[in-house]
Amino acid sequence: MSETAELVLGSFGAMQSAFLSVYLFLSKRRNTKNLLLTLFFLFITLRIVKSLLWVYLDQVPQWFLNLGFVAHSASGPLLFLYLIYFMRDKSWKGIHLLHFLPSAVLLLLLFYLNEANFWYKGGYSALLYQQLTYALLTLGLLVFSFGRRRREESLAKLANRDWLWLSVLVLGVFSIQLAYFSNYLLGLTPYLAGPVVYGVFVFAIAFFAVTERQTGSSEGQLVKYGNIHLEAKEFDRIRNRIETLMVAEKPYLEADFSLESLSELVGTARYIVSHVINKGFKTNFSDLINSYRVEEAKSKLSSDAFRNIKIAQIAYECGFNSLSSFNASFKKHTGTTPSYFRDHQS
């Protein structure tokens, strides 16, 4: 490939990443995922610009070269964490800052490190191994999660277009990390192969980011069960099966009874059972189970046979694992307390 083509494609990748970073920063969405992706595109921009300047300019300040390496060291962890938060939709955990400890150290030494005393003495090799490790972890997480998408409720919420968005993003970044690794440690590819390949992928990445809402409202806030299609007959069969189980076998009396347990009894994937509960019973799994437990408790509280049994014991026998959760659920479903309910039975 000619130097002109390398420069054009590399510059295109840098500009597109810069655009995405600014676009995300100026958006109204303020959440962990949006911040991670904003920083990721910013640091990828710095890394590519560093590479282009190093190749095409005779003199580049050493501190700016080091800043490019700092950005490189942070890009892998940022994408890895973005993938986790996209699929799990959880709040930020402080312990995840440990992923950026190498970046923090490099930033502190920004004006002291140079090619002679660090980067050509194993520093750059360590950086490339670190980033390839994160790239492989991210790719592995994507493949593993895709394989479990029908067995985990949080993954089942992701539509096909979301999996496509994640695939394009992860493969695009994997290509740039692999290219840098292949160039310096294996000697198989040109130095600018990474920015060039990324420049090809970034067009699709930008298209998804802007037109498919994948960078903000869609991630973790998808239309629930939008990709589940059940025939009415099958939907009714599962709903009736759940009702029959609750009445005949009373599995809710077990304190550790879970959605996974119910799906095994029904013989249907957990995300489908959850979908049927939400749509067919107009509630969620927890409230559905607690409603059956409360009905069981009402039966015992109004029975003379249980007149001398403590309310706490009845709560545990009905499947609640604490008296406080029993009292809260009982009042939610009946509008009164267990003791008041018992005292006013004729």
Q: pLDDT tens, 52-95?
A: 888 888 888 999 999 999 999 999 999 999 999 888 766 678 89
> Rounded to an integer, what distance in angstroms lies between the CA atom of residue 184 and that of residue 191?
8
What per-residue confidence (pLDDT) applies to 1? 58
Residue 214: pLDDT band (50, 70, 90) is very low
Count of alpha carbons within 13 angstroms of residue 137, beta-carbon side: 16
Question: pLDDT by residue (tens digit) across 45-54?
Answer: 999 889 888 8
pTM score above 0.85: no
User: Which has the minimum average pLDDT: 39-53, 108-122, 153-167, 279-293?
Assistant: 153-167
Q: Residue 55: left if φ>0, alpha if ψ -120 to 50, beta else—which one?
A: alpha
Reply yes or no on whether the pLDDT at 289 is more than 90. yes
Would the pLDDT of 10 be above 70?
yes
